[in-house]
Chain A
Amino acid sequence: MAKKKQKAKTENPYIPKPYKVLEYYRETDDNFTITINMKVKHDPGQFVQLSLPGFGEAPISICSDSEEYIKLNIREVGTVTKALGNLKKGDTLLVRGPYGRGYPMQYLTGNNVLIIGGGCGVAPLKGIIDYVENHRDDFKEVMLFLGYRSPNDVLFKRELEEWRNKYHLQVTVDEEAHGEMCYDAKHGFVTDVLRSTPINNENKIVFVCGPPIMMKYVIEVLKEKGFNDKQIFLSAERLMYCAMGVCCHCMIKGKFTCVDGPVFRYDEMKELSDE
């Protein structure tokens, strides 16, 4: 029996690399943001596979725009994300990526930017906000509509004031506030505020991310306001393992969320949507 030991010539794509947690910030009871020292060029909307050996891997979208570090906003829902929640500044975690097709920002310059997010769907959109800030001259007016379930669920509180000063910002909460609110938020759905705001589709691109039901109604409102499919960009969520278009778990019809997405333009998404 002839055995040949052979080292993989190319890099093994399944092996993650270690990075350090530079900052850990708790946003809400079940949500936190970490900054890690991963220096990598990436588009907003792309994601990385975070792993803690023994717990597993989880795809998390990048919510910053820098080549010096990446920020990740994580909601504690599963085994891995809960374990990630126990990290501290200085801890090591393993990462592979970035993966996926992000928002094609360089092709969208010269437009007004409309950002509509719901819950932890705001995370990938924050990547766009940072990108726009870093390329402020390339974009015109920026409008933000961010909806959360309750005042306790509002994310990126540290950044909200800055956004309010620079952009047109509207924050909504589904449930009414019981205690004090340290920021200005309206009671109601993000769709209500969007509907009552006078906006037309001229020179605008829209980025939507949030729970499927929220995205559905947001698109309805956008359609009422005359937006066409090609102006709207959405982000999809699926179970995924490999993130390289192989394992097939994230397939939506023939498209792989991990390679062809997670960002889809609405005209592409529409073809996939009846699943």
Chain B
Amino acid sequence: MTETRTDATLTRTGRRGSRGPVNRDEVLLEIKDLRVTFQRRGGPATAAVDGVSFSVKPGEIVGVVGESGSGKSVTSMAVMGLLPQRGSKVTGEVLYRGENLLTMGQRQLADLRGSELAMVFQDPMSSLNPVIPVGLQVTEVLRRHQDISREDARVEAEDLLRRCGIPDPRRRLSEYPHQLSGGMRQRALIAIALACKPALLICDEPTTALDVTIQAQVLELLKELVNDLGTAMVMITHDLGVVAGLCDSVNVMYAGRIVEAAGRRELFAHPRHRYTEGLLNSIPRLDAPRGEPLQPIPGTPRDTIAWSKACAFAPRCLHADDECVVGDLPLVQLGRVNHPVRCVHPAPEEEPHG
């Protein structure tokens, strides 16, 4: 976590030499008022992401938490320019080092995507090319971004796989994706994402398909990366446990909008939005006393109202009343510093959680 450790690692591995020292105060990625609407043939337009803004600095892990339909994955796809052109409309700004990725040419974006931006998906099998050996997929990326020989690339790929926790990397290099286990594939995918030494890594549920012990390995690997290389990371997940252990700051999304944002300790100690509060109360905790019934959030994520008419969470909220029927509730600071909330009746500030 400290600068000295980072520098030592950087010098040792000789990475990132060309890009100069990492300035950890610079804003690397800034998302401003991102909106994504989908229009299906004949159907009405639906806003999947509805005015999302947040920023990421180097060496920082920003969490985006939400359930199905919250728009968290669509956000990441929009940032990477991976949404289908037909049927989707993206507005707002995604500034990467001050340049708007949304207005950038396809070619320029593709260049950037391979070199500075990388993404790790939930399903490693569909993101790896099944007919090309894993090693070749790693060396391909390495050689695209560096002017090195095939042999050098192979050595570096082997090193990369080893550092990603893949045992016997020399043998693995010549194997095909289907010969690897799920956890191994996910680590291979991370190795490919890291091959271009990205400045920004977007992880979309990278560990959801993995077993917990493998998840712990992968999360530890990602943590090291951020600490050692100063990579900025956006972590998209539904798992509050993962967020609690990994992220510096957290954005909670519901029905396409951020409903609460705070530093991780702040968020878990003082959840203000009723959705965040409800989530924390509804999940069984390994360390909680047993025998107490859980307090579920009623309804399903499908039971929403358009934000333009009222709070989208109101139909499931135990504290909802007529005042919640307000169009376009703002995300505002309520008392606590750096902790904006989009709620008419937020949880009282002093109420201790837990």
- A is bound by B: no
The interface of chain A, by Cβ under 8 A from chain B, is none
